[in-house]
Chain A
Amino acid sequence: MMRTGRTNFMQSRKALAAFVLLGELALAACPTAVLAQGKSILVVGQTGPLDTLDPLHADVSRTDNLNSGLYNTLITYDQDGRVVPQLASEWTLSPDVTSIDFTLRTDVKFHDGSPLTADDVVYTLERTKRLGQGVSSMLGNYKSATAIDAHHVRVDMTAPSTLMLGALTKIYILNSKLVQQNVGSDDGQAWLHSNEAGSGAYRFEVAQPDTTNVRMALFDDYWAPEAGRADIIIVKRMDGSATQSSALRAGSIDVATEISPRDVLSFQDQAGFTVARGKSSGGTYVYFNVDHGPTANVDLRRALQYAYDYQGDIDHIQVGSGSLTDGPLPPSTACRPTGETAKQDIAKAKELLAASGFQNLQLTMTYDPSFATMNAQAVLLQSNLRDIGIDLTLKPTTFPEYLAMLKSPETLPEMALVIDYTQYPDPGTMLSVNYTTAAIKQGASKTAYSNSEVDSLIAGAITNPDPEVRCDMYTKAQEHIRDDALSINLSYSSPPIVSGPKVGGIAYDIVHGPIDLSDLRLASN
């Protein structure tokens, strides 16, 4: 009997161990399975480490994507590039554009049940300014915020600037009382790293210790409830297009946010899968140094523009995940002038090259070879220039090295291939950084372009409260920039998002790209 009893005990221990092991394997392999319990779940594949939940770092798209489900901003942009309400129901720009008055919604609750007040907005903005990291770089002209009453806030600026509206679309509002309870000695950074204090459609539930998964659950008291949101969203770290493609096909993720153009082709006509592309908020550009060296010659710059095979790039390098350019700013921005799309014309390129007076010209272009698409574009341009008799040397350069070169026109490369994009679709952001004399002085200009008329148009637009006048000025500035041929606008990128059969609605988000988690919807069937 003893023997039998011990055998049974041993067997039961083995069975228990096997049961636990199987359970652990199931947990590891399929987190959605054990979480299901009748709840709807969507899993989003995201590249790179899920570093932090702190909205201070929402300038990094990985953090921004996570925050888009957990938090809200005062205002945001719609897909047409118009500023629309979110936590603020109304706002008024002062006539001298030095302050903005916001009226807050009265029905907003944070995830702990406390109501949104003006103090939360003031605390968030002051904390962002105080810490001076991440999104604080967008609050350049921010002076102070004042709570007028519980639901009215005034934001004052140090100088007139309409860019503040765009910047506020990147500032997620914190529950000030909750953060202050956990403020520690670092202004709540350690706590907000792995906790949240938001009012978004989802509340944070848990992250795996190695932060490869972040799980969030639908917030029942969300101020903007809509049918079709999943009960649970899991953001799962998954690096690389091939891995995300396989996982999407296998059903272990429902949304893939990093799929290479060639892998996208395999999903395009496959039943159950949807490929979404939004308006591009960026592209690849070759910026010229227009102050020093041979590229100071406008005929040469135009010759270089005509030499590039734009259509070949779109068809065979972007493979449908990009579009032809028609100006210096990407399609997501408002106030763009109408113009012809870029087109290769070798005869015209040779004619302009002859007019420039250069012969047997050797040029150097910096580029970052770690981006496969950029690498291919650099080689294509090199070959195209060879066809018109220009020898282009490609110089591998990391992004920090490139930033160091921007310090002065003397150190600026004669040509630099870069991926450039806007954090939010206000035309003033890219224009003021790339094409003004002030940017040269700040060591930030990519072109060393100095044109008093363009300076005046951009500065005038930034400080003008009238949206129509502002738009007109931005448009004229872009026409000057286009005529002066400051860059070869190779292509606009339209990163695709691919979703599986469980997903009903998805769109590329122009502010929190690739996706705003609160916009994810389940398929209706």
Chain B
Amino acid sequence: MPSAAFVHLAGVFRSFMRMGIFDRIVLGTVVVVIVLALFGPLLAPYDSLRSDIVNAFQPPSAAHWFGTDQQGRDVLSRLLVGGQISLLSSVAIVALFALIGVIVATTATLGGRWVDQVLMRAVDVGLALPGMVLALGLAAALGPSVQSAIIALGLSGWPATARLLRTAMAETMAQPYIEGAKVLGVPKARLLLRHIWPNAKDVLVVQWTMDVGVTIVVLASLSFLGVGAQPPTPEWGAMLTEASGQIGTAWWTFAAPAATITVTAFAFGLLGEMLQMRDGQVEEGPL
């Protein structure tokens, strides 16, 4: 008799096979990226940090599938190890600004008119500021590192989540059953946990999924500008910085991280859209 886990897995597989080919590619790519990010350091064929300068700028070959960089380090190994840093950092950033956004939106929703007004104006100010410039300034002030980039992006990204969640929560709060629950004296905490947050959850999951993709690009941009990951950390954006002077002479050192960032960001963006369509938030287009 099959175990419950097997039955569950079989159900997941059937759901996967029922998807269209396009959806399967997108989901498959995201799964592969996550698996590689989690186990990348174990899969890397070479030491990603050790310079082997004699083998600098080796083009792609059987020994080095993606070639070697200026220090003679295997580009594939660095991508695999760097995947963990790039992806987990992006998830951490999204989690940080999601947490701040949820706290702000919830306080605004339940805190009364004046609190709502003050917090939403703060959100407006946050949205009006150019996020990338703000993050760049914050990261530079904190000192260049991955941790600084995570804090900077987390602190500059929350207004969008707060605005979205506040709108979703306001719609839920206007429902007659919420009014009824209030009249019956249901505590605010119970209202939040049982009715308000669950109703906003789908919108947020879609948004956060897409945010992971965008954040990978933004994090790479901060590293590219020198305020994110520092040498020898193989974060994908830092790899682009190191390779930027060799596009003409050793294209693979630039092309490999650039393609990886593009594919990963694109896959997460499309996954977000897929979820959006499945939840019926937007009409499915001709695609």
Contacts and interface: CB of A to CB of B under 8 A. Distances in A.
Given A242-B248, A394-B230, A379 B144 contact: no
A400 to B, nearest CB: 14
A317 B245 contact: no
Nearest to A313: B53
A309 interface: yes
A376 B70 contact: yes
B72 interface: yes
Nearest to B227: A396
Given A309-B53, A379-B231, A383-B49, A316 B226 contact: no
Interface residues of B, number: 20
Contacts of B49: 383, 386
Interface string B220-240: 000000100011100000000
B231 A382 contact: yes
Given A262-B249, A369-B226, A386-B49, A375 B231 contact: yes
Interface residues of A, number: 25
Contact of A316 (B50, B54, B249): B54
Interface in B25-83: 49-51, 53-54, 56-57, 70-72
A380 B230 contact: no
Q: Which of B57, B72, B248 has the most CB of A within 10 A?
A: B248
Interface in A231-286: 242, 260, 262-263
Contacts of B232: 379, 382-383
A283 B72 CA distance: 23
B53 A378 contact: no
Interface in A378-392: 378-380, 382-384, 386-387
B230 A375 contact: no
Interface in A267-313: 309, 312-313
B248 A379 contact: no
Given A384-B51, A396-B226, A379 B71 contact: yes
A34 interface: no
Nearest to B144: A396
Closest 6 CB pairs of A and B: A312-B53, A383-B51, A316-B56, A372-B245, A379-B231, A262-B249
30 contacts: A260-B245, A262-B246, A262-B249, A309-B51, A312-B53, A313-B53, A316-B53, A316-B54, A316-B57, A316-B70, A317-B53, A317-B70, A369-B226, A369-B230, A370-B226, A375-B242, A376-B70, A378-B231, A379-B51, A379-B71, A379-B231, A379-B232, A380-B53, A380-B71, A383-B50, A383-B71, A386-B49, A394-B230, A396-B144, A396-B226
